[in-house]
Structure 1
């Protein structure tokens, strides 16, 4: 007896469509709210009826139906009454006889009944009776759970994991493999994995979804989505929302939201932006300042930036700059004492760090040192002018005495 009862419950819970012979009316679904009633509690039972007759718009064969077949089809979808029999245990308070008429081809309707549970706990069976014109009743048993614990319905549990090639540089494209494993105790079908809207900084390149036909208990499947990044995307861990939709044996469509993590690491690029000296023209054996502005044209912060040079002069040959953010610059200042006049070729070494490690860059530069101007001729001319002036003054003084 127990085995027969279990078979009946399984057939009911799996929602196998029931229909009368030659009828196009099918009971496709039902829902009880709340799913488990307390003794004497009221609830709502909603039944979905569907007409499986294909719509005329999608008919692919000959359309010259005989009058007899047309009348037969029409009568097979004409409902005279819908009645819920509570079997003396479940009280049906409202809903009986509320629908009469025809369901359109390919259409569905929902009919609700207000029910009340009995005073005692248990599993009670009601019966839905649908009278089809010129045919017998469609009979469909529906189990009502009144405060009775039963084993959990076998459900799939899809667990998402990811794998990628590691940190990502802004502006790069990269694939992400998404792995789904079913760790539940039921089968999932028609699985779609879709990336939700992520903004313009990180977005799928071609498609934002992939499909898996089904996953049995313990099965896994892998899909790949290629992402593209903007060069302006900020460094750090970015959470990307993922929607997983699938069909379960008893609940229909299920939506689960997960996330994947993308590690964006900006890369700095430090180089010379400008170079100037103070004074502009450097004379031999004289002090001067060499100012070199360093620019970060990369996508990440440059940390611990320092610059050094190998000029054969006395003074400060190393400058610590610190941090330079993307699209910013900072000066490296060297205070030096020039040597003899001439053109000096020297190396400027730049060292810095970023999220990708330590970097070095060497630049070849030249610096011109000039001799001080030769003022001998100027001095002679000045002396001659002074002598002429003094001689003229004395002549003028003597004429005044005479």
Structure 2
């Protein structure tokens, strides 16, 4: 049987199956429902706000195919659910008094699963509509901001109003000087449309700013719908490592013509990036003579934006002596010497490599640079000259004291 007959058809079928596999749904936590008890609070009364957190990915999983694609050996399919880990759930009062603390490390939430969270609140002394915000932070740089309307002695029908919440997805970390892709999702969980939605990106951080625009406009978000906004941020290469905070303001109009304002925050974690190189190479003595020991000094510099920690350097010269040096930490813009005390080398050009290993906020790294070492032959001309001079002096002494010594006559 030919190769095409045996393997061609199964290979084509495998490629078609891979092409029709559904894309993996990106898991995100949102507030699917809320309840305020009682529905209308009197000034100074205690009440509760219960929100239901839901993993929006109904089938967050990935498919892995293993085994040979042939008619004799069928491939196996592995499906694994991807959970969302909820780090923290907090209620920001915005005029409502929140009694108690936030929920820390709630744990994993599976695809399509929900979990209720209840906060104890106290109504303020002034009547009106208040919008405390539920803040949900999940592992992996995702956050959700969701306002909950609370009626304090006001005859407004809350169910008729639009309610805009935000879900923010950010990279786990960003290197200073790189661009950061951020998605801002606007959710309308109310019973009517939110019109003339305007999103303003603040400028609280001088090290991070939007690349294109600081203002975004959405004509309308119907009830129960969402509108994603993708924002590209530019980071300053000289920005200090840490969290850069960018405020976001969302304004929109509800059915009664009034304007609503919601606030959110984009937090970008900046991690410095290390760039190591060789600043200079020195030897002691400067002229290396064959067979004589010498010191090799390689200065290693950090031209990046983060600290290089646990820095070591090794050379692979086939010589006796110390071929490894420990430098410790090198801060950005600084350098440190790596000292190698080596034994004598034969004359000629010796190619070798210096390997630099270090650790930074991104993990462990290894960099190798090829170098060359020049060794000159040993010079014995001085010894030869000294021997010749000694021989000449000896010959002269013999000539003066023995050859030319006068002979006495004996009578």
Partner of 1:313: 319
1:312-340 Cα distance to aligned partner (Å, 9 max, x none): 11111111112222222111111111233
Show CA shifts across 1:73-117 (max 9, x none): xxxxxxxxxxxxxxxxxxxxxxxxxxxxxxxxxxxxxxxxxxxxx
Asked if 1:179 corresponds to 2:206, the answer is no
**Do the aligned partners of 2:291 and 2:378 also contact (CA within 8 Å) in 1?**
no
Give structure 1 stretches of 5+ with no counterpart: 1-35, 38-147
Deviation of 1:356 after TM superposition, in Å, equals: 2.6
Say if 1:236 and 1:389 are closer, same or farther in 2 by CA, change over 3 A: farther
Of residues 189, 192, 203, the one that matches 2:195 is: 189
**SS of residue in 2 equivalent to 1:376:** helix
Q: Distance in 1 between matches of 2:279 and 2:273?
A: 18
Alpha-carbon distance, 1:151 to partner: 4.8
Aligned to 2:85: none
* Alpha-carbon shift at residue 220 of structure 1 (Å): 1.5
Deviation at 1:183, TM superposition (A): 3.2
Q: Choose the corresponding residue for 1:262, options 264, 268, 273.
A: 268
Distance 1:387 1:241 in 2: 96
Q: Is the 2:205–2:244 contact (alpha carbons within 8 Å) kept by the matching residues of 1? A: no
Comparing 324-333 and 213-222, the one that deviates more: 213-222
2:387 aligned to 380, 386, 391, which one? 380
Give the Cα separation in 1 of the matches to 2:288 and 2:154.
Answer: 94
Match of 1:15?
none
- How far does residue 222 in structure 1 lie from its aligned partner after superposition? 0.9
C-alpha displacement of 1:384: 5.6
Per the alignment, residue 164 of structure 2 pairs with 158
Q: Does 1:324 align with 2:324?
A: no
Deviation at 1:393, TM superposition (A): 9.5
2:356 and 2:164 map into 1 onto residues whose CA distance is 51
Say whether the 8 Å CA contact 1:338–1:369 is kept in structure 2.
no
Distance (whole Å) between structure 2 residues aligned to residue 388 and residue 178 of structure 1? 100
Hey, what's the Cα distance between the residues in 1 that align with 2:327 and 2:167? Answer: 42
Distance 1:231 1:172 in 2: 8
Shift of 1:185: 5.3
Tell me what 2:219 maps to: 213
Structure 2, unaligned runs of 5 or more = 1-41, 44-151, 406-411
Counterpart for residue 295 of structure 2: 289
Please state whether the residue corresponding to 1:314 is helix, strand or coil.
coil
8 Å contact kept, 1:208–1:225: no
Structure 1 residue 193, shift from structure 2 partner? 0.8
Q: 1:150 to 1:197 in 2, by over 3 A?
A: closer
Deviations 1:104-157 (A, max 9, x none): xxxxxxxxxxxxxxxxxxxxxxxxxxxxxxxxxxxxxxxxxxxx9455542443
Displacement after TM superposition at 1:381 (Å) = 4.8
Q: Distance in 2 between matches of 1:149 and 1:237?
A: 40
User: Any idea what SS the aligned residue of 2:300 has?
Assistant: strand
Shift of the 342–247 alpha-carbon distance from structure 1 to 2, 3 Å rule, reads same
Q: Distance in 1 between matches of 2:365 and 2:374?
A: 29
Q: CA deviation at 1:308?
A: 0.7
Contact 1:234 1:264 in 2 (8 A): yes
Match of 2:30 in 1: none
Looking at structure 1, the residues matched to 279 and 153 of structure 2 have their Cα atoms a distance apart, in angstroms, of 75
197-206 or 384-393: which moved more?
Answer: 384-393
The residue that corresponds to 1:227 in the other structure is 233
Secondary structure of 1:315's aligned partner: coil
Match in the other structure for 2:13: none
**Inter-partner Cα distance in structure 2 for 1:313 and 1:235:** 42
2:107 aligned partner? none
**What CA distance in whole angstroms lies between the structure 2 residues aligned with 1:175 and 1:222?**
13
Secondary structure, aligned partner of 1:298: coil
Give the paired residue count.
252
Structure 2 CA distance, aligned partners of 1:358 and 1:214? 48
Residue 231 (structure 1) shift: 1.1
TM-score normalized by the length of structure 2:
0.55
Which of 360, 368, 392 is the aligned partner of 1:354? 360
1:273/1:295 contact within 8 Å kept: yes
